[in-house]
Amino acid sequence: MEERYIPPYEITEEMLEVVSEIMEKLGNLNSVNELKKLPRLRRVSRIKSIHSSLAIENNTLSVEQVTDVIDGKRVLAPQEDILAVKNANDAYKQLENINPFDINDLLKVHQIMMKGLVDETGKIRTGQVGVINSQGKVVHLAPPAEFVSGQLEQLFYWVKNSSTNMLIKSCVFHYEFEFIHPFRDGNGRMGRLWQTALLASWKPIFAWIPIESIIKDNQEEYYQSITYSTSQGKSNIFIMFILNCLNKAIDEILKDTKNHINHISVQIEQLLKVIESYPQSAIELMKKLNLKSRIGFRNNYLNPALDMGLIAMTQPDKPTSKNQKYFKV
């Protein structure tokens, strides 16, 4: 029987302390949150993830430009950078549908992520590649192409079957994935996305926690942690770096969630209690709320809820249409 590969790493007290902190914060996040009820915050978090992950790969677009591209607006920027944003948005949309333990899904998402950017999409590389830092220096030379398929299969088998806590296990996967560097290009953005996919399969809230923004803010340390882990022959340094990034990312989403909830007025709460998931007119909603003033309804109930992304219009391109109706997102 073939001996299965076990990635080299050691679980330390320091790691367990951070894992414990993260688990406690996740409990708070679930009680404060219900992020699915805060679509605008979800959207902001997703845009942060896409912008940050691509910025690490030297994409030149600002957060505002990334937002405009996702909204279908015209942006004056290099076409390759615009395409990278569109692709990444499509790839992140797959988070709810993919099986992160299936290599075929990895190949499909890589095809989406890199469509039109490289010739080899959705295929294991056939040539030599390496990890290059922000200064253009090669910090890791990946294994020869003939070993990649076997190494990737072993890694997926391990991540699927290991009983290690997913927080640590996903970090190990992320490092090993970057070490193998299975694709000709797009390995960094795919490694970050796939760690999110693994974490989201464990706790769905992770699909909306933009760890990529913390990694971007500590980009040099990100590359150094890969280099140091490789030189030590185990991924401990990288695990600690990513665990700390996760911890900070959860702190930020907790703060953003609390701020968002604090801005929900009594009037918005009343509107959310009566509005349904099927379309209703302004008059129908006013009747339910026992309101007479159209201006007061729009200024205090309708427009603030629309601005926060809590409700939506049936005809967003014609906001003043007499046939306009509203529904809960």
The confidence score (pLDDT) of residue 309 equals 79
Q: Where are the domains of the chain?
A: 13-262, 266-328
Measured CA to CA, the distance from residue 29 to residue 250 in angstroms comes to: 8
- pLDDT mean across residues, the chain: 92
Report the SS3 class of residue 221.
helix
Please tell me the pTM assigned to this model.
0.83
Q: Kind and range of the H or E element at 235?
A: none
> Using an 8 Å Cβ cutoff, are 198 and 173 in contact?
yes
Q: In CATH, what class is 13-262?
A: mainly alpha
Q: Which residues have a Cβ under 8 Å from the Cβ of 117 and sit 6 or more positions away?
A: 80, 83, 84, 87, 185, 186
pLDDT tens per residue across span 10-38: 999 999 999 999 999 998 776 445 555 67
| Contact by Cβ (8 Å): 297, 282 | yes
CA distance 106 to 110: 6
If we measure between CA atoms, which residue out of 201, 208, 49, 182 comes closest to residue 106? 182
DSSP letters spanning 157-178: HHHHH--S-HHHHHHHHHHHHH
Q: Which CATH class is domain 266-328?
A: mainly alpha
Rounded-to-integer distance, Cα 146 and Cα 95, Å: 29
How buried is residue 58: exposed, middle or buried, by Cβ count under 10 Å (0-12/13-18/19+)?
Answer: exposed
pLDDT in tens, 270-297: 999 999 989 999 999 999 999 999 999 9
Q: What is the pLDDT along the chain (329 residues), one digit of tens a residue?
A: 457 899 999 999 999 999 999 999 998 776 445 555 677 788 899 999 999 999 999 999 999 999 999 999 999 999 999 999 999 999 999 999 999 999 999 999 999 999 999 999 999 999 988 777 767 788 778 999 999 999 999 999 999 999 999 999 999 999 999 999 999 999 999 999 999 999 999 999 999 999 999 999 999 999 999 999 999 999 999 999 999 999 999 999 988 887 777 778 889 889 999 999 899 999 999 999 999 999 999 999 999 888 877 888 999 888 889 999 999 87
